[in-house]
């Protein structure tokens, strides 16, 4: 499942307990990701899922659900 893989990546990148990551978690407000964290997270997701996330699309990613929705489309 995409959500589980994304949770694992977030856990590794941000050092957050996987139990605290929910689908509707906001990357900055709930998970404490700053702009550099967000860039590194996007890069790791691109590598893991073998996708290229356009910079404009990346700016619209605010929640874990945004990541999952992008990867599932």
Given the residues 34, 50, 55, 66, select the one marked as catalytic. Answer: 34
* Contact in structure between 6 and 45 (CB atoms under 8 Å): yes
List CB contacts of 37: < 8 A, sequence separation 6 or more: 13, 14, 27
Residue 30 bears catalytic tag: no
Residues catalogued as catalytic? 34
């Amino acid at each position: 499942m995409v959500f589980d893989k994304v949770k694992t990546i977030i856990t590794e990148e941000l050092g957050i307990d996987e139990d605290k990551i929910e689908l509707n978690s906001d990357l900055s407000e709930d998970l404490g990701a700053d702009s550099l964290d967000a860039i590194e997270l996007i890069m790791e997701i691109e590598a893991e899922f073998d996708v290229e996330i356009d910079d404009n699309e990346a700016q619209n990613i605010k929640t874990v659900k945004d990541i999952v929705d992008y990867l599932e489309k």
